[in-house]
Structure 1
Amino acid sequence: MIAQTTVDTVFETARVEEVIGDFVQLKRAGSNFKGLSPFSDERTPSFMVSPVKQIWKDFSTGKGGNAVAFLMEHEHFTYPEAIKYLAKKYNIEIEETQQTDLEKANTDLRESMYLVSEFAAKYFQDVLLNSEEGKAIGLTYFKERGFTNETIKKFSLGYSPETWDAFTKEALGKGYKMEFLESTGLTIPREDRPFDRFKGRVMFPIQSMSGRVLGFGGRILTNDKKAAKYLNSPESDIYHKSKVLYGIYQAKQAIAKQNNCFLVEGYTDVIQFHQAGIENVVASSGTALTPDQIRLINRLTKNITVLFDGDAAGLRASIRGIDLILEEGMNVKVCSFPDGEDPDSFAKKTSYDDLVRYLDENAKDFIQFKASLLMKEAQNDPVKKADLIRDMVTSISKIPDRIQREIYIQECARIMDISEQVLVSTLAQLVQKEITEIGKKQKQEQKAFEIVKNESAAESPKIDILYSLERKIIEILLLYGNKTELFEDVLLKTNEDGIVEMYTEKKEYKVVDRIYLSLQEDEVELSNEMFRNIFSDLVAYYNQVEHFSLESYLMRIPPDLAQEVTDIIMEDEQLVMHNWEGQNIFPKYKSDSISQYVSETILSLRWYLVGSIIEELKSSIQSDVNADNTELLMMIMDYSKLVNTFSQKLGRVMSRYH
C-alpha cells in the first residue's frame, strides 16, 4: 500500500488543471478553464475545471471530482494507480507499506492485464537491447530504419524471440498467470503447449493517452508469405483498436501546443516524424479511421492534417476518412508526398526545416485536395465530373457548421467552374434527404417512447422541495462555511399597546455557525441521509481546522459523498460556461450576497417544515370529522401565524438585498 504521507504530498502538489490539461484542451473562462467533455461526444464545451477549488465537473455526463477522480474515470485507474501516476508526473518519491494477502487477492482483473502488458513491453525491450538474437535481428532492423537508441527507448520498441514460447515461459516464471497472458493475447492457448503470439517479430507497444500499455503491434522480419507482415493484439478488456491511436501518449502535449495533429497510417511514420523533430503526430495503426479515434484528437485540438503516401490508389481509398473528420466539426487539411514516398521515408531523408516547410507549403484544404485529386480521374468526362461534384457536395454536407458549409460551397464552385446555385441546390437535397431519414427514425422511436410515456405518466416524479433546500444548505457550507458575514436577525416584541412589532439586530457570524445554530434552534435534522452525513462531517471538520481546504476535505470522505460534493459546488460554474457577461447579461451570483442567500434558505426550510406540519394536522382532522378537533384547529392557527411571520421575514430579507 502507498504510505499516507505520499498520498498527502501528491494531493498538495498536483494541480488539477495541469493533470487534465494532458488529456483535454482547456481554454481560460474567467477564473476557470473549459473544454470539450472527454466522456461524451459534444461540440459545445461543457467540461469545467476550477483551479481555485481544484476540482472539475463535466456537465454533459454529471461526472466530477478532483485530479485523482479524473484519472480514475478517464484512464480507468484504480486509486493507487492514479496516485502513482501523479507521483511520477510530479517527481514525488513513493513510500509503500506491505500489501496484505487480501489486498493482493482483490487486485482488479483489468489491472492484472495492464501489469502483464507492461511486463511484456519491458521484456521485449530487454531482449532487443541485451540479447544476442535481439541485437542481431531486431536492433539491426531498427537501426536500418534510422532509429536512434533514444528513439527506441522513447517508444519502448522491442523484439520477441523466434522461440515458440520464450516470452510465455519468462512471464510464468515471474509469477504472471496464464489467464492474463491469454486474455491480453500475448499467449495463444493450445492443448499440448501454449505459444507466443508475436514470436520472431519486432514489437511496437500501443499506449493509452496516459502511457499505459494496452496492446502490441508486431512486424515479422522474414519473408514468410503465410504469416501476416503486421500482427496486432486481439481486442480485450483493455485494448480496443478502434478507440486507440498509436503515439498519442508521446504526442499529446505537442498536439495541444501546436494546435494541430498530423495523422499518418503506420507505426514507423510516427516514430520517424518524432525523430525528425515533429512530435504532434499519431497513427491509426493501419485500421480505417473511426469516430472514436477522431474524438480522441478532438479533445486536444480542432485541427487535423492528414498525411498520405504518394501513390494515387492509396490516396483515393484513404480520403474516405475525411468525411468522418468533418462530421466531428473539425478542420481538415491534407498533404501528400511525392510518388514513391511515405511519411517515414520522406522524414528520414529530409531536414527538420525542410520538412516543416514542405508540410506548410503542401498542406491543402480538404476541398482543394479532393478536387485536384478527383479531377485527374474525371478529366473531360462530364459524367465522371458530375459524380465528382456530388462526391464533393456530400463531403460538404457532413460539416455541422452552416457558415463553414457556405464558404466551402463557394470554394467548390470556383474550383469546379460550376454555378454556386447548383451546388447549393444539391446540398439542400442531400441535407433534406438526411433530415427525412432522421425524421423517420425519430417517428419510430417516438412511437416506442409514447408507449413507455403513457405507461409511466402517472408515475412522473414531483419536485422534492425538501431535498432541494437541504442540498442548498450543504452547498452554502461547502462554498462559504468559513466566511464571516453580517446577518440581520428579525425579532418580534410586543409594544405598550400590546401590538406585536418587528425589530432587527445585526451581528457577525461565521456562516457554518449561523446555519448550525439555526437548525439547532428549530431542532431540525436533515431528512436526507447523505446530506445529514455530509452536514455532520462538515461541521466537525470546520471545528477541527483553521483554514478549510476543499481538496483536503474531498480526500477524507468516501467516493459517493465526494461525487455529491463535487456536483453541488460546481453548479454555479455553469453560469461561466455560458459567458453571459459577454452577451451583456449579468447574472446574480450567490457569492454577491451570502448572508441573504443563507437567510433565504433557512427561512424557506422553516416555512416548508411548518407547512408540512399544518398539512398533517389538516389530514388528521379530515380523517375523523366527528371528533373534537378544537386542539388541532388551535395548533393549525398557531402554525399559520408562524408561517405568516416567516413570510414577513422572508419578504424583508428579499427586499433588503434587492
Structure 2
Amino acid sequence: MAGRISDDDIALVRERSPIADVVGEHIQLRNAGGGNLKGLCPFHDEKSPSFNVTPARGYYYCFGCAEGGDVITFVRKIDNLTFSEAVERLAQRAGIQLRYEQGGYVPSREHGERSRLIEAHKAAAEFYAARLTAPDASPGRRFLSERGFERVDAERFGVGYAPADWDSLSRHLMARGFTAQELIKGGLSREGRRGPIDQFRGRLIWPIRDITGDVVGFGARKLLESDDGPKYLNTRDSPIYHKSSVLYGIDLARREISKRSQAVIVEGYTDVMACHLAGVPTAVATCGTSFGEEHIKVLRRLLLDQAEFRGEVIFTFDGDSAGQKAALRAFQDEQKFVTQTYVAVQPDGLDPCDLRVKQGDAAVRDLVASREPLFAFAIRSVLSRYDLNTNEGRLSALDAAAPVVASIKDPGLRKTYVVDLDRWLGFMDEGFVIQRIQQVIGRQQQQAAAPAHAPRRDPVDPAVRLEVEALKLAVQRPALLGPEFDALGPDTFTQPEHVALQGVVAAVGGTVTGGPGGREWVDRLLQQAGTAGEASADLRSLVTRFAVEELRADTAVEERYAALVLARLHATAVSRAVTQVKARLQRINPVEEPQEYKRLFGELVALEQQHRVLRERATGAE
C-alpha cells in the first residue's frame, strides 16, 4: 500500500494547478480588479458575488461564508474528497506521477491507468475527426448537412467518422503504443478472433467529454443499411466513463450554465448542437440512458442550486406520447432540484434539431422561452386523460392528479397548484379540492401499509406530521393534552385514519380520563379500536405504532412540547377554515348578497384573530 505523498510532490501539484483554472471549471469567474477574480460562491447561496480568487497567491476566500484555502482545499470541498484523493486528482490533471514515502516511488496504478485511457480516447477522437473528410465518410457528411450542420460546426463539436473496416482505429492506436488490453478496457475495441476489433464501425461519431474537457467516451450513429446494430451506440461503462453521470455538451455548456443559472436538457447529440448554434448555449443531453440522480448532482453544482428558485432547469421533449412519458419520468426527480423546473414541448413534435432546420434559430430560442412549469405540465398531462365535461370525469381527474399535487414539498407552491387544479377542473371550491386530495393521500397511505400491522413510514407533509405528533401524545401522554385536545373540532385532523383515532380517544372518555397513560390506557384504546368493524385491524395497528414510536421531544421538555403541538395543530385547522371562508367570499357578489357577504366577512375577521392568537401561543410555547 502506498504511503504518504511526498511534500515535494504536493508542492509541485500546487504549482502546476493554477487555482483560477481549477475553480473556473466549476464556477464563472470575472475580473474584480487588483489581480483578483470574483464569482458566486459554490459553497453557499448568494445573490451577489463574494467568492474571491487570488491567482498570484493561489488562494480563494468567500466573504459571505468564510470558506477559504488553496487549490487542494477547493477540490476537497467541491468533490468531497480526502486530502490524498484531492492531490491525486490534481496530479492526474497536471500529468504528474506522485512519489510516496515508506517505499519510494510508487505510481498509483489506478490513476496511471486513467491517464492512459484518457490519452487513448484523445487520440481516438483526433483519428475519428480526421476521417470525416475521407471519401468513405460521405454518408456522415450528408447526414450532418441534411440537419443543417456545416463543416465548421462538425469541427466545433469534434464530430468524426468511424471507418467501416474491422480494426482501423485499433491498429492506429496500437501503433501509437497503446495495448490491446487498454483499448478493450476503455471500450474503444472489443475482442476479435485475431486481436482487437473496433467498437464503432461505419458510424458518425460524437466525442463525449467530462466537465473538464477530457474525452471519456463516444456516441455513434448508424449510417449504413448493412449495419444491423442499434441506431445509436454508446461507449459501455469503463474506468473513465459512467453513463449515469455523463452529460453530452457539459464541457461546452458549464460556464453558461453557471453564468445564466439555467440548464436545458435535450434528448440527443444533434439537439445539443442545434441549441448551441441557435443561441441556447446551456443545452446538454444524456448519453444512452434516462436523466437520473447522478446527472442532477452534476447540474446542481454548476447551477449553485442551494437556494429556492434561484435558476431553472428546462426539459425539452417531443410533443408525442413518448415525449410526455419522458417528461413525467423527469417529474419523479423534479424535487431533487431546489431550483425551478420547466418543460418545453414543441406541439408539432419537432425536436430542436429538426425545428432549427425547418424554422430557423429563432424557433429554437422561442421553444425554450415558451417553457411551462414541470408541475403544471405533469398535472395537465394527467387531466388530459379524462373527460372534464362530466362530473364523473372531473372527479376521477381530481383523484388522479391528487398525488402529483400532494408530492409538492413547498407548502406555498402546493397551495398555488391546488388553486390552479380547482380552476382547471371548474369546481370553484378550493376547500373541496383540498379535502379530496387529503382523502386520496390517506387512502394511498393505508394501501401502502403492507402487511397491515407493519409500521408505516412517517408522512413528509409538515401538517400531517403535526397530526401524528398530537396523536402520539394522546396515546403516550394523555395528561399533557387534557381538555384542550378533547375540545378540538371534527375538522382538525385531515387524514382518515387520524380522524378515526381521534374518535377512539373520544369514545373512551377523552384524554382527560387517560391520566399519565401507560399500559392500561393503551389497552383501553386498543379495545375500542377493535370495535371499528373492517377498519379495526388498521386502527389497532396505528394505536400500537403510536404507543411505541418515539416522541420528537426529550422527557424534560414534553410539557412545553405538548403545548406547542396543540397550539400549532389548532392554528393549522383555523388556517384551513380561513382559506375556505376566503374562497366562499370570492364567489359571492357583495351587491347581490350583502347580508351573506357581511356575515362571512365577520366570520373571516374572527377566524383571523383566532389564528393570530394561536400563532402567538405557539411561538410562546417554543
- Normalized against structure 2, the TM-score is what? 0.57
**Counterpart contact for 2:343–2:372, Cα < 8 Å:** yes
Q: Distance in 2 between matches of 1:222 and 1:16?
A: 42
SS in structure 2 of the partner of residue 396 of structure 1 = helix
* Aligned-residue offset at 1:187: 0.8
**Partner amino acid, structure 1, of 2:175:** G
Go from structure 1 to structure 2 and tell me whether the alpha carbon gap of 1:79 and 1:151 turns closer, same or farther (over 3 Å shift). Answer: farther
Alignment of 1:505-544 (within 5 A): none
Alignment of 1:83-482 (within 5 A): 108-129=112-133, 131-134=134-137, 136-224=138-226, 226-301=228-303, 302-360=311-369, 362-379=370-387, 380=389, 385-418=394-427, 419-428=429-438, 440=455
Alpha-carbon deviation of 1:165? 1.0
- Letter of the structure 2 residue corresponding to residue 139 of structure 1: R
Contact 2:208 2:215 in 1 (8 A): yes
Question: Is 1:14 paired with 2:20?
Answer: yes
**Aligned residue type for 1:126:** A
C-alpha distance in 2 between matches for 1:4 and 1:317: 47
Aligned partners of 1:378 and 1:51: how far apart in 2? 56
Letter in 1 for 2:59: Q
Q: Flag the structure with more relative contact order, 1 or 2, with Cα contacts below 8 A and sequence separation at least 6.
A: 1
The Cα shift of 1:256 comes to 2.0
Distance across 1 between alignment mates of 2:384 and 2:403: 19
The 1:227/1:382 distance shift into structure 2, 3 A limit, reads: farther
Task: List gaps (5 residues or longer) in structure 1.
Answer: 24-30, 38-42, 87-93, 444-658
Show CA shifts across 1:456-491 (max 9, x none).
xxxxxxxxxxxxxxxxxxxxxxxxxxxxxxxxxxxx
Q: Deviations over 1:5-52 (max 9, x none)?
A: 9967656773775454159xxxxxxx9954368xxxxx999xx96647
> Which stretch shows the higher mean deviation, 196-205 or 341-350?
341-350
Equivalent residue letter for 1:420 = E
Shift in Å, 1:364: 1.7
In the alignment, is the contact (CA less than 8 A) between 1:378 and 1:388 conserved in 2? yes
Output the aligned Cα RMSD.
Answer: 4.3
The 2-side partners of 1:108 and 1:84 are apart by: 8
- Against the structure 1 CA distance between its residues 71 and 205, is the aligned structure 2 distance closer, same or farther, given a 3 Å change threshold? farther
1:270 positional shift: 0.7
* Structure 2 residue corresponding to 1:54, chosen from 50, 59, 63: 59
- 2:221 and 2:109 mapped to 1: Cα distance? 36
Aligned length: 413
Would you say the 8 A contact 2:331–2:378 is kept in 1?
A: no
Aligned-partner Cα distance in 1 for 2:80–2:19: 20
1:114-169 Cα offsets, whole Å, 9 max, x none, are 2222221121112113x3323x2323322232212332122211111100111111
Contact 1:309–1:343 (CA under 8 A) maintained in structure 2? no
Contact 1:371/1:415 (<8 A) preserved: no
CA contact (8 A) 1:16 1:49 kept: no
CA drift of 1:273 comes to 1.0
SS of residue matched to 1:411: helix
* Alignment CA distance shift 1:35-1:9 (3 Å): closer
C-alpha separation in 2, matches of 1:378 and 1:238: 47
Kindly provide the CA deviation profile for residues 225-281 of structure 1, in whole angstroms up to 9, marking residues without a partner as x.
731111111112222211122111111111222222211111111111111121111
* Secondary structure in 2 matching 1:378: coil
For 1:321 and 1:104, the matched residues in 2 are separated by 39
Partner of 1:460: none
Bigger Cα Rg: 1
Q: Which amino acid aligns with 1:115?
A: E
Distance 2:413 2:404 in 1: 12
- For residue 306 of structure 2, what is the aligned residue in structure 1? none
Q: Which runs of 5+ in 2 are unaligned?
A: 1-7, 30-37, 98-103, 304-310, 459-622
Letter in structure 1 aligned against 2:312:
N
The aligned amino acid for 1:35 is P
What is the letter of the counterpart of residue 405 of structure 1?
R
SS in 1 for 2:248: coil
Percent identical: 24
Once residues 16 and 73 of structure 2 are traced to their aligned partners in structure 1, the CA distance between those partners, rounded to angstroms, is: 13
Question: How far off is 1:317 after superposition?
Answer: 4.3
Secondary structure of residue in 2 paired with 1:169 = helix
- SS of the equivalent of 1:299 reads helix
Kindly state the Cα deviation for residue 354 of structure 1 after the two structures are TM-superposed.
Answer: 4.4
Match of 1:67 in 2: 71
Give the alignment of 1:471-510 within 5 angstroms: none
Q: TM-score, normalised by structure 1?
A: 0.54
Taking a change above 3 Å as real, the CA distance of residues 4 and 428 of structure 1, as seen in their structure-2 partners, is closer
Q: In structure 2, do the counterparts of structure 1 residues 387 and 127 end up closer, same or farther at CA, with 3 Å as the change threshold?
A: farther
Q: What CA distance in whole angstroms lies between the structure 2 residues aligned with 1:110 and 1:13?
A: 23
- Comparing 351-360 and 295-304, the one that deviates more: 351-360
SS in 1 for 2:414: helix
Alignment partner, residue 449 of structure 1: none
Amino acid at match of 2:373: D
User: Is this contact kept in 2: 1:304–1:332, CA < 8 A?
Assistant: yes
Judge conservation of contact 2:59–2:68 (CA < 8 Å) in 1: no
- Equivalent residues of 2:14, 2:71 under 8 A apart: no
Partners of 1:280 and 1:75 lie apart in 2 by 25
Deviations 1:49-108 (A, max 9, x none): 664782479xx9xx995335545774999858747968xxxxxxx999xxx997698852
Contact 1:323 1:395 in 2 (8 A): no
Name the amino acid aligned to 2:347.
P
Q: Is the 8 A contact 2:382 2:401 kept in 1?
A: no
Deviation at 1:208, TM superposition (A): 1.3
Q: Distance in 1 between matches of 2:175 and 2:426?
A: 70
Aligned partners of 2:264 and 2:313 also within 8 Å: yes
Does the 8 Å CA contact 2:189/2:199 hold for their aligned counterparts? yes
| Aligned match of 1:599 | none
Deviations 1:391-428 (A, max 9, x none): 43323333332222222222222222233234433554
Asked if the contact 2:14/2:72 (under 8 Å) is kept, the reply is no
Shift of 1:434: 6.5
